[in-house]
Amino acid sequence: NAGVTQTPKFRVLKTGQSMTLLCAQDMNHEYMYWYRQDPGMGLRLIHYSVGEGTTAKGEVPDGYNVSRLKKQNFLLGLESAAPSQTSVYFCASTRSSRSGNTIYFGEGSWLTVV
């Protein structure tokens, strides 16, 4: 039972480099999300998707792009990494828009930008 899987788990980038975080879920969920977690800030929504081929901006989308080409995958891209993007990134998914549905989280990806 894999659930939500994120890769890579750890990464160190230099300022200006690009990278992609991959999120995969095997629960046939429609909705997927990318959050970032920073000390004292809780989790903040970066981008989300309500289905294959759709994406939307969350609370803190600047500096990130996303794609949902396949239902099971949700990619988060950093085109030109900045030290302010040092954070822990969490992917999450849920079945539908019915209020109260459980949202499942991946184990996190620790990103450091130097």
Q: Give the footprint of other proteins on this chain (CB under 8 A).
A: 4, 31, 33, 35, 40-45, 48, 50, 58, 90, 92, 94, 96-108
Q: How far is the CB of 29 from other proteins (least distance, A)?
A: 10
d(CA 105, CA 85): 20
Q: How far is the CB of 80 from other proteins (least distance, A)?
A: 27
By beta-carbon proximity to other proteins, the closer residue of 1 and 99 is 99
Amino acid at 47: H
Distances (CA, A) of 77 to 6, 40, 44, 47, 69: 13, 24, 16, 11, 14
Residue with tokens 């879920």: 25
By beta-carbon proximity to other proteins, the closer residue of 33 and 81 is 33
